[in-house]
Amino acid sequence: MAIWRTVVGKIWLTIMGLVAVVICTIGLFLLQYIDITFENSVKVKHLFTVAGAVGFLLTTFFAFFLLTKITQPLREMKEAADQIAQGDYTVRVAIRSLDEIGDLANTFNQMASEIDSLIRILEHERDHLSSVLRSMTDAVISFDAEGGVILTNPQGQNLLEEWNDVGWDDEDGQGKVGRVPEPLLESFRSVIAHGKEMTTKLNVKNEVWSVALTPLASTSGIRGVVAVMRDVTEEHRVDKLRNDFVANVSHEIRTPLSMVQGYSEALLDDIAASPEERRELVQVIYDESLRMGRLVKDLLDLARMEAGHLEMNYERLDMNALLGRVYRKFAAMAKEKGILLVKSEDDETLVLESADRDRLEQVLTNLLDNAIRHTPLGARILLGAKKIASQDGEQLEITVQDEGEGIPPEDLPYIFERFYKADKARKRESSGGTGLGLFIVKTLVEAHRGKIRVQSKPGSGTTFTITLPVSGDTRRQG
């Protein structure tokens, strides 16, 4: 910057002008007397010239002194202010004096320190908010009043990309990237129009989303909307299954109770004329009571599992004896229904070092009862066990394979869930059920640190395979 454009330069030029005017004025009045009065007027003129030169030098020195004391600190503060404007809040100005310039520099440094502290607090809050948004499992998206995306967390960004890939009918252009997606459009417009919070549920691509929209209010009106979306597909499905389960259990209990009540009244009214008819009625009552007993037992087992009170008694177990006992239990039932029940040959190495005999018998009983009820006349059921080697060590594999109608592929992922109705998961179901049997089987197998898997194709039968560790401590908290 040119010196004459600075404050000091202007002062310097002013003083120089005043000195020149004074010297010239005095010279104009005295020059006519110098030639008359003084003998050597040239010396006097030289004196004026020297005085003018000395005045110029003194004012110049004074100007540079002011430049050092005033202009330089001001220029430093200007440069520091420029650095602060560019984002460097750590810059400070050196205090060179204790006058007003020094006070100004000290105040400037305090201001810079306050700005630095405020910016750090804002950055901390921003990072904290960003961390909270990133850690949220819910999708959070902020829109402006025109529907443009302002801010989103990773889950919200993924959701926007997923929804924008769907071919919505976006006649008004709202289905574009960076805009309110089509499923949210109606709710977004309602919040913008009324300025009130809204909670709703959306069904998008076979998924259920719980959406909470909150308006962003300002002095000039609604400036945007914040949408928080949570995937409640699983909760919705479980709730529906729970409702179906309650209805199914009510039906399962009501049916045998009605039959028991009806046949009991028949016996009381002496409707059965012969001992054979009475025996038939009593047999029906007995079968229905067994059916209610199985239902109550499943419900009690479920209650114990939910409460964490599942008791396990681990001991060394010979699987040959267990398979033989279960085989004998179901052999007569299978024969009555014209089903061939086949058991694998005994193997003395089929021994589990730590297992609950009664619980594993319950597992095999449920699987075989399920297989017999769903296997047609003339088919067969295979019950077998063998040792296998795996990465987790030596394991025992138990197989229950039937030749029934099989399970539809869309139902396979859900058959081990506690509230999935048996007559829905397996459409070949003929005698109903609560859907608890396979859930209990899975829970008991996992209590032995084992795994169960199912393979099935419609019309090709179903195979349940259980793998259990041969050795090791399988005890766990029940």
Q: How far is it, in rounded angstroms, from Cα 299 to Cα 283?
A: 24
Q: How far is it, in rounded angstroms, from Cα 279 to Cα 261?
A: 16
Residue 467 has pLDDT above 80, yes or no: yes
Residue 269 has pLDDT above 60, yes or no: yes
Please tell me which residue, 176 or 326, carries the higher pLDDT value: 326
Strands of 340-446 (E only): list them: 340-343, 351-355, 380-390, 393-402
Return all residues near 409 (Cβ < 8 A) that are at least 6 apart: 457, 458
Please tell me which residue, 1 or 74, carries the higher pLDDT value: 74
CA angle 212/218/221 to nearest 5° reads 85
Q: What is the reported pLDDT for 399? A: 93
DSSP H helices, 220-356, are 233-268, 275-307, 319-336
For 5-27, b/e burial (b = at least 16 CB within 10 A) is ebebbebbeebeeebeeebeeeb
Least confident of 167-181, 288-302, 453-467: 167-181
Residue 16 has pLDDT above 70, yes or no: no
* pLDDT (average), residues 233-256: 75
Residue 68 has pLDDT above 80, yes or no: no
Q: What is the reported pLDDT for 478? A: 39
Please tell me which residue, 474 or 266, carries the higher pLDDT value: 266
Compute φ and ψ for 465, nearest 5 degrees. -120, 125
Q: What is the reported pLDDT for 400? A: 93
pTM: 0.48
Q: How far is it, in rounded angstroms, from Cα 340 to Cα 331?
A: 8
**pLDDT digits over 102-156, tens only?**
788 889 889 988 988 898 898 888 888 777 777 777 888 888 888 888 888 888 8
Q: What is the reported pLDDT for 69? A: 66
Least confident of 107-111, 412-416, 449-453: 412-416
Residue 464 has pLDDT above 90, yes or no: yes
Q: Beta partners for 218?
A: 221
Q: What is the reported pLDDT for 187? A: 87
Helix or strand holding residue 455 (H, E): strand 451-456
Please tell me which residue, 313 or 219, carries the higher pLDDT value: 313
pLDDT cut 90: percent of the chain above it: 8
**pLDDT digits over 343-398, tens only?**
988 888 889 988 988 889 888 988 988 888 888 888 999 999 998 888 878 899 99
